[in-house]
Every structure is written in structure tokens, then in C-alpha cells.
A = this chain, B = another copy of it.
Amino acid sequence: MSKLRWGMIGGGHGSQIGPAHRLGALADGRFEFVAGALDHRPEKGRAYAQRLGIGADRAYGDWTEMLAGEKDRDDRVDLVTVATPNATHFEITKAFLEAGFNVLCEKPMTMSVEEGQDIVRVAEASGKICAVNYCYSAYPMVRQARAMVRAGEIGKVRLVVTNFAHGHHGDATDADNPRVRWRYDPDMAGASGQFADCGIHALHMASFICDDEVEKLSADFASTIASRQLEDDAMVNFRMSGGAVGRLWTSSVAIGRQHGFDIQVFGETGGLRWASEQPNQLIYTPVGGRTQIIEKGEAGLHADAQRLSRVSIAHPEGFPLAVANIYCDLADAIAGEPRDGLPNAAAGLRSMAAVHGAVASARAGGAWVDARPPMFR
């Protein structure tokens, strides 16, 4: 299995989403990171790309340079990720699709509906993949929820209720912080603030799990911090094609909420609940029955949920990244910058001494024994 070639536009040093894309692309060893235009400052972008292991010839200064450089190569990238500021998604995505590249675009895909329709047509004409990073829909237990709804396990969907609320923009004294301010400035963010930023994840997930589309909606927007032109809090009621009622609340001033994304789906014969902070579990209640906890990795999950579960049931969601942190510390140590926390051979030895001590103690009816390795006594 040779690796696919991957390139990224945006996501440079200090980017919030860039590291998640790199980890996402590299984690399974199926992509090789070979090209990038990572920063709007060409020199910084080229330098950072090379620090990440990209060859100098494919460390591009901007996306046009990258498009020009890649499009005629035999070993052109198999996939381009677009992780640039929102307003640029459209033209970059369109250009790469037209040149025959597969594209993964950060959300929102475009700023206007017209641009969106344009992308749909271009993608179709190109025959290439155009994906949007609604990544919450790729959690195994979200896939399980979708599969259960499609299999009729909760009956016809009556109601879907979803929230995406955080409080990270709740401090009015921080409202002029540039990392915050642009989100509520129509010149930079477009027509919508918090709903376009987080709410659309929730709306997508409602469609995704219900396997149905939003048909009409009614919205109430509020700018609870007066200096904001765009909403920092929104409630959207909607109806889906199949008749389901929808409720969506999103907020960035919900002080105390960190990652408050959850969804509940209620059908004629059952209800489902999932939350991003307990991603390992899907809560299921059959009508008239007891609530059940469906665990990631358990036997009998739908195929898509099983395929994406990665580690076996005894290991919680964050486990592989804890292993990755061990490798981080190892890389640093190999590079001559040892990290304090790396478990060493002495730690391994102490464990064995404790194991043998415990065996001896248990055999002696719980007698207290020295737990230290002889060499450390």
C-alpha cells in the first residue's frame, strides 16, 4: 500500500485547525505530507513547510504558486486541504477542483449560496471529490446513530434537538482581541457570526444523523455584546423534508461551557443522545424501555461505526493520543531534549518489583512486603 500524497493550504504556524489536519492526515499512515502553502506570508509559509519535512520545491509561497507547481507533476498531490480564512475557500477550492484535484475544504465551504452552487456544479463536472470538514460527523458513535436511524431503530424521526454552545467569546473586555473580533465583523465573517461558525456543525449533524434535509427554518439572532454587528447567540427552529421538527441553539457567550456540542434525536419508537464530551457513548432509549449505553467498540455496532473505532473497547477515545504524546517525548529525547515525564526503565523495573511483591503478599495473607527492587533499596 503506497501512501497517498497530501498537501495543505493554510494551517500554518499558530493556526488553530492546522495541527488537527496534520494529525488527521498522518495518523493512519495513509497520506504523506508532500506539499503546502501554509501561510499568507510566503516566506514564513515556505520555512514552516520545510520544518514539517516538505521538500523545498514543494514548500510554496501561496496557493496559486502551489496550483501551478502541482498541476503538471506526475506525482501531484492526491488531496488538497483548504484551511485558509473563510472568504478564500471558494476561489481556492474551485480552482483546484477545476484543475482535477480532490479537495477537502474547511467549513464554511463558501460565503454565499451562489458560490456554493458553483462549487457543487464544478465538483460534479470535475468528477473529483469535494469534501467539507464536518468532522464531528466522523465520530464512530455519530456514525452509529445515523446507521440506527437509517435502519429504522428509532422509527420515523419526530424531533431533533441540538446545541453547540461555548463561552470562549463571553468576555466583553476581550472582544477586541483580533482572534475574536473578526468573527462578528460582517466584512470578515460574512452574513452570520456564531451560527455560521459553530451552528452549521450542529445543523449538518442533524441532517447527517436523520438522513434528511432541512426544508425551512425560523431564526432568532442576538448580539449579546453590544459592540458586535453579528450574532453571538442564535436559536433556529426548523423542519426537515420528512416532517421532523428541529431545534438548534448555538452560543459563544455561554460562559462555563467548553465543548458544548450535543444532539438528541427522538423518533416514534426510541430516542438517541450523543455529546462531544462523552464521544465514546451513544445513549439509546427504546420507547417504553430502559435507557441503554452503547459503547464505542462493542460487539454488534453498525459497520461504519465499527470500522472507525480504531482502538478496542477497553481503550477510551483519547488513548491513541496519549500514546502519541509518549512518542512526542521520545522524539524530543532522541533529539537531545529529554522530557521529565517519559517513563523509563527504572519505572518498568519498579512495576515488576511491585507485581512480585503483591504476589508474595497475597500468598502470605496480606503480609506487608517491601515493594522496591533490590537495586533501589
B137 touches A170 (CB 8 A): no
B258 touches A31 (CB 8 A): no
A70 within 8 A of B: no
> In the complex, what's the smallest C-beta–C-beta distance from A113 to chain B, in angstroms?
5
B-contact 0/1 string along A301-323, CB 8 Å cutoff: 00010001011111111111111
B218 touches A331 (CB 8 A): no
Q: State which of B20, B235, B293, B348 has its C-beta within 8 Å of the C-beta of A323.
A: B20
Residue numbers in B under 8 Å from A28 (CB-CB)? 22-23, 26, 324, 327-328, 331
A69 within 8 A of B: no
A191 within 8 A of B: yes
State in angstroms the CA–CA spacing of A358 and B238 once bound together: 10
Residue numbers in B under 8 Å from A68 (CB-CB)? none
Residue of B nearest to A3 (CB): B53
Residue of B nearest to A352 (CB): B116
Residue of B nearest to A289 (CB): B292
Q: Which of A177-234 contact B (CB under 8 A)?
A: 190-192, 195-196, 199-200, 203-204, 207-208, 213-222, 224-225, 231, 233-234
A46 within 8 A of B: no
Q: Assuming A33-B29, A271-B167, A326-B131, is B207 touching A112 (CB within 8 A)?
A: no
Q: Could you tell me how many residues of chain A have their Cβ less than 8 Å away from some Cβ of chain B? A: 196
Residue of B nearest to A287 (CB): B171
Residue numbers in B under 8 Å from A158 (CB-CB)? 224-225, 233, 253
B-contact 0/1 string along A272-289, CB 8 Å cutoff: 110011111001111110
Residue numbers in B under 8 Å from A111 (CB-CB)? 352
Residue numbers in B under 8 Å from A362 (CB-CB)? 219-221, 231, 234
A76 within 8 A of B: no
Instruction: List 23 A-B residue pairs with CB atoms under 8 Å apart, sorted by A's residue number.
Output: A3-B53, A24-B323, A24-B324, A28-B324, A29-B53, A31-B327, A102-B333, A110-B352, A113-B374, A116-B352, A116-B353, A129-B334, A135-B323, A137-B343, A167-B285, A167-B287, A204-B350, A218-B365, A219-B366, A220-B366, A259-B280, A277-B278, A279-B317
Residue numbers in B under 8 Å from A233 (CB-CB)? 158-159, 245
